[in-house]
């Protein structure tokens, strides 16, 4: 805010004394907004709990019991069945709970399935780049097949149409660290493909429409859109992915126990019925069931998607009204509605101060951009985040910007 003050000074014109006003400019501190978000949690993972969440409301019958007990198997099977129903999976797709979050699920698929044919790996942010690095440096796929790299800078997508339908295609549905997603429908994937598609959908599942007929392997973690706890991943397989598991055994590739999905040449279907490979946290499972019940109560995926898009719309309006902030993803068609990444008219150090100031004020927690991304902020707008909180945050972004810029 500017304050204008005037004083008078003596000037001489044609040797006649006159008094002229002098204007001075002094910066005033902008008052902070009156209202704060009711919940300041905007972390991109683990993410905010659902509205109304109360840990005391969880079913605690399973606590202290074996996951292989009757009730343990029933609760795991319920989590699997409800996930399939709410996501709208085809009847012949398999879904299983696996170790080590989305990372573990995706690595399981890579280590079991890649190497049978040439591979196209697409990435435009840190996690996709990590899959490429693992494929080349650890799986040594270039010793076996042709590995093609399709990459783009943060905020952009590579030309996905250049991928080959006869190759296996690895990609991220929604780049959590860049705020860039693939376009609706995944039209770059051929319906007549002979290769498999391996899709990391950790920050997309439940908040975006998943074209299941295009996806052979899909992974996610329930800590993202549904606000569950970390440590567990979900692996979804199409019949084509199952066929690959049963017909391709990589040579000289030892698999640790937590990666093994077959027995005697056949897929171990018990994994996809609730017999997990290792011991899960049954408290985390109950937490996930609670999230699924909430998701179902608001209309399933359509309801969850609407909540996330409404949150994005709030930020889009704010960005349109302020020229010091912009989206990392300039193209709305590839802009994420969950992991919303924005650049600011500030230096990297000023952005750190901006983020720290908002955290100090208790209005926005964990919104710093990912360490490998360009200097930016990242506001989680997934379905558990309430629109009123995003709306309340916007004036605080403006306030913090002017405090830091001054």
DSSP state of 57: G
SS3 9: strand
The confidence score (pLDDT) of residue 29 equals 73
The confidence score (pLDDT) of residue 28 equals 56
Residues whose CB is less than 8 angstroms from the CB of residue 165 and which lie 6 or more positions away in sequence, other chains included: 189, 190, 192, 193, 194, 195
CB 365 within 8 A of CB 43: yes
What are the tens digits of pLDDT across the range 2-52? 444 443 333 334 444 444 443 333 345 789 999 999 999 999 999 999 999
The confidence score (pLDDT) of residue 9 equals 37
Residues of the chain with pLDDT below 50 are 1-27
The confidence score (pLDDT) of residue 126 equals 94
Q: What are the chain's domains?
A: 65-295 (3.40.640.10), 299-405 (3.90.1150.10)
The confidence score (pLDDT) of residue 215 equals 98
Q: What angle do CA 63, 64, 69 make, to 5 degrees?
A: 90
Residues whose CB is less than 8 angstroms from the CB of residue 156 and which lie 6 or more positions away in sequence, other chains included: 124, 180, 329
Torsion 39-42-47-51 (CA) sign: positive
Q: Hey, what's the torsion of the CAs at 274, 277, 280, 284, to 10 degrees?
A: -60
The confidence score (pLDDT) of residue 5 equals 40
Q: How far apart are CA 374 and CA 365, in angstroms?
A: 19
Task: Find where tokens 């049954």 sit.
Answer: 282
């Amino acid at each position: 805010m500017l304050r204008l003050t005037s004083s008078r000074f003596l000037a001489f014109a044609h040797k006649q004394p006159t008094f002229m006003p002098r204007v001075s400019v002094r910066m005033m501190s902008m008052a902070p907004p009156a209202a704060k978000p009711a919940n300041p949690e905007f972390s991109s993972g683990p993410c905010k709990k659902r509205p109304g969440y109360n840990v005391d409301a969880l079913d605690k019958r399973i606590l202290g019991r074996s996951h292989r007990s009757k009730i343990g198997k029933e609760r795991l099977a319920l989590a699997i069945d409800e996930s399939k129903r709410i996501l709208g999976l085809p009847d012949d797709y398999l879904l299983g709970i696996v170790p080590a979050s989305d990372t573990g699920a995706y690595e399981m698929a890579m280590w079991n399935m890649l190497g049978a044919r040439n591979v196209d790996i697409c990435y435009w942010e840190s996690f996709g780049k990590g899959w490429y690095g693992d494929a080349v440096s650890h799986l040594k796929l270039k010793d076996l097949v042709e590995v093609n790299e399709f990459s783009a800078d943060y905020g952009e997508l590579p030309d996905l149409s250049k991928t080959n339908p006869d190759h296996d295609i690895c990609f991220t549905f929604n780049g959590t660290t860049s705020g860039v997603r693939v376009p609706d429908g995944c039209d770059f994937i051929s319906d007549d493909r002979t290769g498999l598609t391996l899709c990391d959908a950790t920050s997309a599942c439940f908040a975006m429409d998943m074209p299941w007929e295009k996806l052979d392997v899909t992974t996610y973690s329930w800590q993202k859109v549904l606000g569950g706890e970390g440590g567990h991943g979900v692996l979804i397989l199409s019949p084509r992915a199952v066929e690959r598991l049963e017909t391709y055994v990589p040579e000289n590739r030892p698999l640790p126990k937590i990666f093994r999905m077959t027995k005697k040449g056949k897929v171990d279907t018990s994994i996809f019925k609730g017999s997990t490979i290792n011991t899960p946290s049954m408290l985390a499972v109950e937490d996930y069931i609670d999230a699924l019940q909430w998701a179902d109560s608001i209309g399933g995926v359509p309801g969850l998607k609407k909540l996330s898009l409404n949150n994005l719309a709030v930020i889009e309006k704010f960005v349109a009204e302020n020229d010091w902030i912009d989206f990392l993803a300039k193209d709305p068609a590839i802009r994420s509605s969950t992991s919303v990444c924005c650049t600011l008219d500030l230096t990297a150090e000023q952005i750190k101060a901006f983020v720290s100031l908002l955290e100090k004020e208790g209005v926005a927690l964990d919104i710093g951009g990912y360490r490998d991304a360009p200097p930016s902020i990242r506001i989680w707008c997934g379905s558990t985040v309430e629109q009123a909180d995003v709306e309340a945050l916007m004036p605080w972004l403006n306030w913090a910007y002017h405090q830091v810029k001054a």
